[in-house]
Structure 1
Amino acid sequence: MEGYDLIGDIHGCGATLAALLEKLGYHQRGGVYRHPRRKVIFLGDLIDRGPRIRLAVTIARRMVEAGEAHIVMGNHEYNALAYTHPAPSGSHKRWLREHTPRHNRIIQDTLDQYRHHTNEWEDTLAWFKTIPLFLELDGIRVVHACWDDALISELKQRLPTARMDDQFLVESNDPGSQAYRILDRLTRGPHIRLPKGVAIHSGDGFTRQSFRAHFWAANPQQWGDVVFQPDNLPGDLEARPLTDSERERLSYYGPEQPPLFIGHYWCEGIPALPAANIACLDYSAVKFGRLVAYRWSGETQLNADHFVWIQVPKEERALPKPWEIDFD
């Protein structure tokens, strides 16, 4: 085997995923995309927002189950599991992830596209439960949002396969629990709260009271040293000093560590490496950005020339084209 093709957040852009796989040299045989010398690693967030969620899930799942791909859990797969799992008896709420207007909106496209495929949806949720929270393979590391050595060590001790069980899933909705700390950091990454009364009105229509922070600054001093998202911080907040408690809550991934691949962060523009040993592969595909892959072939120093992408066309939201793969 030559190596792995790591693919970022797809978010239901199933037709574009098929086109990217073809561009990478994968061809469908027996309903599964295969390459003679390479395998894929999906970085999670197959679902929500996009127009062909079932197609994206079907392509990825068939590849994983045929041994042609690996996958790690994204926060959107986790959200779907918590949204559909009843809260424990005696709880004040009905579901682990409450059906608030905000949560309903995030998952609505997925529910709509599986509405007439209820058995398939139940089976898909069962498959989501089998997805590990991180991978270490052949000298590389893969996680959806953030690699935190201490929390990953805790997870390995508790769940050696890094796959959630029902107890972990239920516990992960308690903000004071170990499961919550692990799940939140690995699938959502570090966040820093904005000052009271300040909010970011994001390009995806949501209002946020915190911002996404990265985890590869060796000695960050101010908010601008760690902010990692397409939305700018309001006012002069980039110059706001990091407090000791904020700095302590950040993870750190040093340049001596193995190559790491992440998604999650809604990058924009031409794919680039945020650090010499870190590649982010989420380039806002579902906002007509790029669906991005990194072709890794054993190198210990990552190379931006190894990015491969397809610009997501407006036609992704149109009626299917004749070339689109149809598994039904």
Structure 2
Amino acid sequence: MAVGTQAANRGYDVIGDIHGCANTLIRLLEQMGYRKVNGVYQHTRRQAVFIGDIIDRGPRIREALHLVRDMVEHGSARIVMGNHEYNALGYCTRARPGSGKKWLREHNARHDRLIRETLDQFDAHPHEWNDFLEWFYTIPLFIDEDGFRVVHACWDGDLIEKFKQSQGGACIDEDFLHASAALDSFAGQVMDTLLRGTDLRLPEGMSITGSDGYVREFFRTKFWADEPETYADVVFQPDPLPEEVARRPLREHERAQLISYPLDAPPVFVGHYWMEGAPAPLKHNVACIDYSAVKYGKLVAYRMDGETVLSPDKFVWVDVERPEAPGYPGMEDSVAR
């Protein structure tokens, strides 16, 4: 069946960052009417779309990867790459001779910590992990349909068009992975923007220590802000800017760095940003569906049925309970909503 026919006849359930919360994912799928058929979760009329970041941090990364890959390979799901899958490829790929590095992604304390849970859970299954690394190359960076779009962190139309022309599709190969290690290269810009988002540098001499303990001199920005005037109009991250910085007017060279998402463009879905509160669209054609599941937030889906204006009523989710909650049975649990 052609993609256009599929889009016309089936609904899509776009699912946020999983980060190893396999049990919660099962509850969300079952809440939405997916059932196991021959060991694979399927829906008679709908297809799941995973926003990436299946790995790292959570208690059941291996199980989550198997569940998701089985769905993708059997046609009951699609997926885009998250920055954590990309990071894993870099971390586990040796740099080429003469580069001055041993690995594409440096094995430092921060990077070791981010991938530790994943490597620990695959410690007894090294061949499986290598198979998953190969599978990551088959995951597209974006989905661009007539009626909707999906990317992990940021839809930059110009970069995506240039990428499609250079790569002939939506996936990277090992040469592109190596090229992306240089952040100022085209490949580096593609991976950093699409999988991590856009940012602006803080005023000279200022830095922010995030809730993760990491000190940053940049802050994440919206790619959909309409006619922004101040830093507060474009900031988009869990850690707020100091009030005096948030009020700061944008300068012309800062405005020039911002991108925008057209008001008449198809709805686009992103993850990545650790949202909190009641799930709702960011604007009529932009929605973030990452609501911090692995930090005991929500695992969220948006049930897309071809609408051009996104609705808060189309979000569904399960709440992830903290271990100290009454009746908590293990490392991960959830309550359907």
Give the alignment's TM-score, normalised by structure 1: 0.94
Alpha-carbon distance between aligned partners in 1 of 2:297 and 2:286, rounded to the nearest angstrom: 20
CA contact (8 A) 1:87 1:170 kept: yes
CA contact (8 A) 2:321 2:332 kept: no
Structure 1: 5+ residue runs without aligned partners? 322-328
Alpha-carbon distance between aligned partners in 1 of 2:248 and 2:211, rounded to the nearest angstrom: 23
In structure 2, the partner of 1:226 is: 234
Structure 2: 5+ residue runs without aligned partners? 1-8
Aligned length in residues = 321
Alpha-carbon distance between aligned partners in 2 of 1:317 and 1:65, rounded to the nearest angstrom: 32
1:110 is the counterpart of 2:118? yes
Residue by residue over 1:212-268, the C-alpha shift from the partner in whole angstroms, topping out at 9 and shown as x without a partner, is 111111211211001111211124110112222222122110211111111111110
Q: Where in structure 2 are the equivalents of 1:229-244 lying within 5 Å?
A: 229-244=237-252
Residue by residue over 1:54-79, the C-alpha shift from the partner in whole angstroms, topping out at 9 and shown as x without a partner, is 11111111000001111001011000
Inter-CA distance 200–64: structure 2 relative to 1 (3 Å threshold): same
1:15 is the counterpart of 2:23? yes
In structure 1, the partner of 2:134 is: 126
Query: Which of the residues 75, 78, 101 maps onto 1:70?
Result: 78
1:263 is the counterpart of 2:271? yes
In structure 2, the partner of 1:326 is: none
Alpha-carbon distance between aligned partners in 1 of 2:236 and 2:264, rounded to the nearest angstrom: 21
Alpha-carbon distance between aligned partners in 1 of 2:194 and 2:329, rounded to the nearest angstrom: 31
Query: Which of the residues 107, 112, 120 maps onto 1:99?
Result: 107
**C-alpha displacement of 1:200:** 2.4
1:287 is the counterpart of 2:295? yes
Q: Percent identity?
A: 54
**C-alpha displacement of 1:305:** 0.3
CA RMSD in angstroms comes to 1.5
1:314 is the counterpart of 2:326? no
CA contact (8 A) 1:51 1:317 kept: no
1:217 is the counterpart of 2:225? yes
Aligned to 1:56, the other structure's residue is in SS state helix
CA contact (8 A) 2:143 2:149 kept: yes
Q: What amino acid is the match of 1:30?
A: N
Aligned to 2:318, the other structure's residue is in SS state strand
Alpha-carbon distance between aligned partners in 1 of 2:245 and 2:29, rounded to the nearest angstrom: 41
Alpha-carbon distance between aligned partners in 1 of 2:230 and 2:282, rounded to the nearest angstrom: 18
Alpha-carbon distance between aligned partners in 1 of 2:100 and 2:36, rounded to the nearest angstrom: 48
Aligned to 1:21, the other structure's residue is in SS state helix
